[in-house]
Homo-oligomer: A and B are copies of this chain.
Amino acid sequence: MDKSLRDRASRVVPGGMYGHMRASGLPDGYPQFFARGEGCHIWDVDGRKYLDFMCSWGPIVLGHHHPVVDAAARRQMEQGDVLNGPSERMVELAERVVGLVTHADWALFSKNGTDATTTCVTLARGATGKRKVLLAKGAYHGAVPWCSPHPYGVMSEDRAHILYFDYNDVASLEAAVTQAGGDLAAIVVSAFKHDYGQHQELPDLAFAQRARALCDANDAALILDDVRAGFRLTLHGSWDQIGVQPDLSAWSKAIANGYALSAVMGNNRFRDAAAALFATGSFWCGAVAMAASLATLDVLEAENGPEHMRAMGQRLRDGIAEQARRYNLGVRQSGPVQMPTILFEDDADYARGNRFTQETLKRGVYMHPKHNMFLSVAHTAADIDHALSVTDDAFKIVAGL
């Protein structure tokens, strides 16, 4: 079925599939097409079941097909979704996130993470009347010309006022600020360094504080790209954990457990600017995704979702570390335990990582060889232990290579 769908797709979809969900970026054996999800399990179109450690690349934070979220969405569907204006759900959701997220005094909603990051940057330029935007080299902030990791169709003008620094490197950040001169509009930081195919890094406190101070000193906006990590590590904004508050933040992924939604949040300093900006989209006020988001946040809070994911992520990390030691394999785990990245040492071509995940996949555990993975609230200790029994087999095979 996967094969016949790939054949059909090759005729009517560019390259057979586009973007980050192309199976061509994965080792042989990975399915391209999926049929179903339930809790922490997914099924491909050939009926094979997997314990899922990608969670749809982030959106699924409570588990697939979550009964409370889906019931809220179905109730809202009976009323109305996209109408001639927003619904009461928009106000409730804005109030809810302003109550949860420490730095937020207001919120606006859109559909893609890229909508949110683009709005933040445009807002910072409008508010400050300045142009330079500093990004960390290799950081992913979306797939449009100002930030896409792939330069196809991108012109030099699209990045004329983008400057780069190294995440967690104060000296490089200061150098970029100096380069911006009097024209600094914003510094954009990810919740942590989660570059593709690389070891992840948590934000260094001195770096985060310096970014905040440089924005203050230069009347620029500190923008936190919390699209990937937001509401998974904490409900209060990912840098709240280290006590550094951004001016603007971009959210998506986990905000509504898979319903299409993103958000920009900001403090009062940028409230008038946000009102002045023309940001809009046909479906941005859709009430179903907002009802789903309200339910998602309720469940995350009631069940202390971030802490559950932390505990499950730690259990996975400890187990993997023990196995790697036992098989004498150089394995480095990085990033927050709720969003694990597992890379082999001295594996520049990812040969061992690919083999490892191919072997877990064969045994029904869907892991990614290069990208950070995601835990959900649906993962139980028994699921983690089952995954570890599978990774043990996979390590054994890799060690025997």
Contact = CB atoms under 8 A, between A and B. Distances in A.
Contacts of A32: 85-86
A32 B86 CA distance: 7
Interface string A218-255: 00000000010000000000000000000000001100
Interface string A273-314: 111111111111110010000000000000000000000000
Interface in A5-44: 5, 8-9, 11-15, 17-21, 23, 31-37, 42-43
Contacts of A266: 14
A376 interface: no
A286 B259 CA distance: 8
Interface in A146-160: 148-150, 152-155, 157-158, 160
Nearest to A128: B153
Interface in A43-62: 43, 45, 52, 54, 56-60
Contacts of A366: 84
Contacts of A23: 85
Interface size class of A (residues with CB under 8 A): 35 or more
Contact of A91 (B5, B81, B155): B5
Interface string A110-130: 111111001001111111000
Nearest to A272: B14
Given A83-B42, A85-B32, A143-B279, A284 B37 contact: no
A392 interface: no
A359 interface: no
Contacts of A81: 258-259
B84 A64 contact: no
Contacts of A157: 157-158, 160-161
Given A23-B85, A31-B85, A59-B282, 17 more contacts: A5-B88, A9-B94, A14-B274, A17-B85, A18-B277, A18-B278, A19-B281, A33-B91, A35-B87, A36-B79, A59-B283, A74-B74, A81-B258, A131-B155, A143-B279, A149-B278, A152-B277
